[in-house]
Chain A
């Protein structure tokens, strides 16, 4: 049964919703309800590429990711649950002079923020991944503390621990409306009933703009299909996640031996379609074997799709808003919600429970789009 009242209703049972619930509950907030229209981790989190990297193109994304990595380093211990976090590194080769130049600027910015990152020659890149084809590689960047985890285990662990702290999770429950009175949130209407609440947290991932629209907030966000495939498991033969912005692709050999690879299709139109396409398999396999010819021998096991929730600058929108009291959000992660979500959740928990406002919240607020003066992070694929 859906409770009649809550102190806060979190919309979305992915990494953002469950981690926020956990951190809020840990701070002693009671009557937290998570509403999830499908099942926990059924959306973007459970379908993502599972990488955790700090090598970004903007200081905001980089410093947030560095904080996130600190959190991930002790997360299995904190949640007493092995989330399969590993720091296997990220290797980013540049195949054009343009990207090589961009990367050297990125590395300078990242080093200034204290990230242990290197700018490598093609041979140095090949020393890290011997099977990498470096024929056309101009340079590469590498950070050994980047890595990845298991998004499903991470989300389940947060959800499980949150439940132990009293959080109520209602799955198969879809939010259909949100009521506002006198400029403040008053209730959330679902297909299973209505909950009175003074606060909501929009963590609806690929559908965040639809939730925001219910309180007349127009988010500058579009959702795009993003497809991924996984190969058969084979003996471990390379460590880092490899990304190429030239080929618009990333791939990594995960713990049990499968290679996970994904890419964004630049011709994809905004929408909510998550069906798999044949073109994706054809495109990504063609592209990936140019970077690592050895992949040619592998069989594809499965493919699937999820939604990227994309903002104009590829950085998330977090915090509260001026016009609607009690409305909070962590949306528009643009494909990096899993890696940034838990850190953002700790900041949001401090804002909601303690009234403590970290300066990054202002820098990543919805307000930034009003000035029209935004810097786009181009290190996205």
Chain B
């Protein structure tokens, strides 16, 4: 067993993980940050749009600029970063962790404190031929375009009108692609009006109560058939429409990536509003396993802004346990962040999350 000079392991260098590192390093705590990507920032590194809300939530700042701002908060001397590395397992009872470092060698470590900030993964939906080349998750398209400068195709069908579907549609236009249609199974657009207006102004036809029936093509996508849905979400026969596209982009929701938490023995509960099965956690972001914390989309799909605050809360609560900051100072900072989180969730889009959190806090994991 490797003896470690790290106090805390943070898994995932996205908004939640970076903010956790910032708070921990501010308290003089040594952190090992493991991230699977070549650069830190998680999903932020491809978010070219400006954030909303208030200044404390990075309003007006483009997502791609935030990782640098957060890294400025972190004391370099106190943080060790393993990028392009994967945590493959957390083994109870001693939190032994296996890390596949640089995609080359396996290292074993043991930690008293771990923050799981692994984000979420894209959902897939069922339709005929959904495994044809040319079918992408919207997040994958964003990564290809905004991070690696690769356009996935020329003519797109976007499935799903949540914020990601709307934003990626706009970014596809910016990249010179044609979004031939945006379909949404629900009767109304799910994302923010400001994003929706932008793409409607650009002339992208949006069809609600519509889903994808099948992808056409043998070697790759050559088209798609869409179908209208009635108020009970049943397909309406005779409303099938064929559309000629070379790329189908799916933006049908996210699911928390919490497999490591399950492996570590964290108890799970089902809360629909937070994305389905999630690890149980308390208001300190601590799971049912002592010393293992979770923050961001990994414990309930929300937004980058709330992930950042949850990351800070996890970091501060660990600092409190480690007594690296006076209890009073810790509590003050924790309260500030809790208030900030409440503010963020106070709008109409936060209602679902607030309801989810209310259910979570009412439940014990036993």
Residue positions of A touching B, CB distance < 8 A:
275-278, 281, 300
Is B265 touching A278 in the complex (CB atoms < 8 A)?
A: no
Give every chain A residue within 8 A of B265 (Cβ-Cβ).
Answer: 275
User: Is the interface on chain B under 10, 10 to 19, 20 to 34, or 35 or more residues?
Assistant: under 10
Known A277-B91, A278-B91, A300-B88; further 10 A-B contacts with Cβ < 8 A = A275-B92, A275-B265, A276-B89, A276-B91, A276-B263, A278-B89, A278-B96, A278-B98, A278-B108, A281-B98
Give every chain A residue within 8 A of B89 (Cβ-Cβ).
Answer: 276, 278
Q: Which residue of A lies closest to B90 (CB)?
A: A278
Q: What would be 13 A-B contacts, judged by CB atoms less than 8 Å apart?
A: A275-B92, A275-B265, A276-B89, A276-B91, A276-B263, A277-B91, A278-B89, A278-B91, A278-B96, A278-B98, A278-B108, A281-B98, A300-B88
**Shortest beta-carbon distance from A233 to chain B in Å:** 16
Q: Number of contacts between A and B (CB, 8 Å)?
A: 13
When A and B form their complex, which 9 residue pairs have the shortest distance between CB atoms, in order from nearest? A278-B91, A278-B96, A277-B91, A275-B92, A278-B98, A278-B89, A276-B91, A278-B108, A275-B265
Give every chain A residue within 8 A of B88 (Cβ-Cβ).
Answer: 300
Residues 243-280 of chain B, each 1 if its beta carbon lies under 8 Å from chain A, else 0: 00000000000000000000101000000000000000
In the assembly, what is the distance between CA of A138 and CA of B37, in Å?
48
In this complex, the member of A275, A276, A278, A281 whose beta carbon has the largest number of chain B beta carbons within 10 angstroms is: A278
Q: Which residue of B lies closest to A276 (CB)?
A: B91
**Shortest beta-carbon distance from A6 to chain B in Å:** 33
**8 Å CB interface, B89-106 against A:** 89, 91-92, 96, 98
Give every chain A residue within 8 A of B91 (Cβ-Cβ).
Answer: 276-278
Give every chain B residue within 8 A of A276 (Cβ-Cβ).
Answer: 89, 91, 263
Q: Which residue of B lies closest to A300 (CB)?
A: B88
Give every chain A residue within 8 A of B92 (Cβ-Cβ).
Answer: 275
In the assembly, what is the distance between CA of A66 and CA of B323, in Å?
66
In the assembly, what is the distance between CA of A275 and CA of B263, in Å?
9
In the assembly, what is the distance between CA of A281 and CA of B98, in Å?
11
In the assembly, what is the distance between CA of A300 and CA of B265, in Å?
20
In the assembly, what is the distance between CA of A278 and CA of B87, in Å?
13
Give every chain A residue within 8 A of B96 (Cβ-Cβ).
Answer: 278
**8 Å CB interface, B321-342 against A:** none
**Shortest beta-carbon distance from B278 to chain A in Å:** 21
Give every chain B residue within 8 A of A275 (Cβ-Cβ).
Answer: 92, 265
**Shortest beta-carbon distance from B262 to chain A in Å:** 11
Give every chain A residue within 8 A of B98 (Cβ-Cβ).
Answer: 278, 281
Q: Which residue of B lies closest to A275 (CB)?
A: B92
Q: Which residue of A lies closest to B97 (CB)?
A: A278
In the assembly, what is the distance between CA of A41 and CA of B96, in Å?
30
Q: Which residue of A lies closest to B265 (CB)?
A: A275
In the assembly, what is the distance between CA of A281 and CA of B92, in Å?
14
Q: Which residue of B lies closest to A278 (CB)?
A: B91
Q: Which residue of B lies closest to A301 (CB)?
A: B88
In the assembly, what is the distance between CA of A276 and CA of B91, in Å?
7
**8 Å CB interface, B283-314 against A:** none
**Shortest beta-carbon distance from B355 to chain A in Å:** 28
In the assembly, what is the distance between CA of A275 and CA of B262, in Å?
11
**Shortest beta-carbon distance from B100 to chain A in Å:** 9
Q: Which residue of A lies closest to B1 (CB)?
A: A278
Residues 92-133 of chain B, each 1 if its beta carbon lies under 8 Å from chain A, else 0: 100010100000000010000000000000000000000000
**Shortest beta-carbon distance from A38 to chain B in Å:** 16
In the assembly, what is the distance between CA of A300 and CA of B98, in Å?
12
**Shortest beta-carbon distance from B90 to chain A in Å:** 10
**Shortest beta-carbon distance from A216 to chain B in Å:** 32
Q: Which residue of A lies closest to B98 (CB)?
A: A278
**Shortest beta-carbon distance from A228 to chain B in Å:** 15
In the assembly, what is the distance between CA of A281 and CA of B96, in Å?
13
**Shortest beta-carbon distance from B36 to chain A in Å:** 14
In the assembly, what is the distance between CA of A278 and CA of B92, in Å?
9
Give every chain B residue within 8 A of A300 (Cβ-Cβ).
Answer: 88
**8 Å CB interface, B65-105 against A:** 88-89, 91-92, 96, 98
Q: Which residue of A lies closest to B263 (CB)?
A: A276
In the assembly, what is the distance between CA of A277 and CA of B96, in Å?
9
Give every chain B residue within 8 A of A277 (Cβ-Cβ).
Answer: 91
Give every chain B residue within 8 A of A281 (Cβ-Cβ).
Answer: 98
In the assembly, what is the distance between CA of A278 and CA of B91, in Å?
6
In the assembly, what is the distance between CA of A275 and CA of B89, in Å?
13
**Shortest beta-carbon distance from B149 to chain A in Å:** 29
In the assembly, what is the distance between CA of A67 and CA of B303, in Å?
60
Q: Which residue of A lies closest to B89 (CB)?
A: A278
Give every chain A residue within 8 A of B108 (Cβ-Cβ).
Answer: 278
In the assembly, what is the distance between CA of A275 and CA of B98, in Å?
16
In the assembly, what is the distance between CA of A281 and CA of B108, in Å?
12
In the assembly, what is the distance between CA of A276 and CA of B98, in Å?
13
**Shortest beta-carbon distance from A273 to chain B in Å:** 11
In the assembly, what is the distance between CA of A281 and CA of B97, in Å?
13
In the assembly, what is the distance between CA of A274 and CA of B92, in Å?
12
In the assembly, what is the distance between CA of A355 and CA of B215, in Å?
58
**Shortest beta-carbon distance from B31 to chain A in Å:** 22
In the assembly, what is the distance between CA of A337 and CA of B89, in Å?
30
Q: Which residue of B lies closest to A285 (CB)?
A: B106
**Shortest beta-carbon distance from B85 to chain A in Å:** 14
In the assembly, what is the distance between CA of A119 and CA of B237, in Å?
66
Q: Which residue of B lies closest to A303 (CB)?
A: B89
**Shortest beta-carbon distance from B354 to chain A in Å:** 32
Give every chain B residue within 8 A of A278 (Cβ-Cβ).
Answer: 89, 91, 96, 98, 108
In the assembly, what is the distance between CA of A276 and CA of B263, in Å?
8
**Shortest beta-carbon distance from A192 to chain B in Å:** 21
Q: Which residue of B lies closest to A280 (CB)?
A: B91
**Shortest beta-carbon distance from B198 to chain A in Å:** 42
**Shortest beta-carbon distance from B192 to chain A in Å:** 39
In the assembly, what is the distance between CA of A89 and CA of B91, in Å?
35
In the assembly, what is the distance between CA of A187 and CA of B96, in Å?
47
In the assembly, what is the distance between CA of A131 and CA of B131, in Å?
34
**Shortest beta-carbon distance from B307 to chain A in Å:** 28
In the assembly, what is the distance between CA of A276 and CA of B90, in Å?
10
In the assembly, what is the distance between CA of A381 and CA of B185, in Å?
53
**Shortest beta-carbon distance from A274 to chain B in Å:** 12
In this complex, the member of B88, B91, B98, B265 whose beta carbon has the largest number of chain A beta carbons within 10 angstroms is: B91
**Shortest beta-carbon distance from A78 to chain B in Å:** 32
In this complex, the member of B89, B96, B108, B265 whose beta carbon has the largest number of chain A beta carbons within 10 angstroms is: B89
Q: Which residue of A lies closest to B91 (CB)?
A: A278
In the assembly, what is the distance between CA of A300 and CA of B106, in Å?
12
In the assembly, what is the distance between CA of A281 and CA of B100, in Å?
14
In the assembly, what is the distance between CA of A281 and CA of B263, in Å?
14
**Shortest beta-carbon distance from A288 to chain B in Å:** 16
**Shortest beta-carbon distance from A86 to chain B in Å:** 26
In the assembly, what is the distance between CA of A277 and CA of B90, in Å?
9
